[in-house]
Amino acid sequence: MALTKKGIGLLIVTLFVGVIIGGALGQLLGIFLPADHPVSDVLVKPLLDYRVGPIPIDIVIMRFVFEFTVRISFFSILGIMFAWYYYKYHY
């Protein structure tokens, strides 16, 4: 029952930060590797690319356009695993 002691909110924030850092590291690696490199195909390109939108919302004086994209890559999954390890053993 350690999860209830630490809090579910802290777990969600920790995993979210892990995804962000992992995705950023993957994108940084993608800058240095050529686009047709086999390592780039496996590690940097998204395994899952999900997009919702664009959803326009028109009101009389403004127009908003919302779009939501999720790109899960190998480094994002690696970031989740490191964040879970950090949450489990360092808090």
Whether 63 and 56 have beta carbons less than 8 Å apart is answered as yes
Task: Return the C-alpha torsion angle 25, 27, 31, 34, nearest 10.
Answer: 110
What's the confidence (pLDDT) of residue 73? 85
**Is the pTM value of this prediction over 0.85?**
no
Structural domain harbouring 68: 2-90
What total number of domains does the chain contain? 1
Helix (H) or strand (E) holding 13: helix 8-32
Render each residue's pLDDT in the chain as its tens digit; 91 residues: 455 577 888 889 999 999 899 888 888 888 888 878 787 777 778 888 888 888 999 888 999 999 988 888 888 889 999 999 988 887 6
**pLDDT tens for each residue of 75-90:** 888 999 999 998 888 7
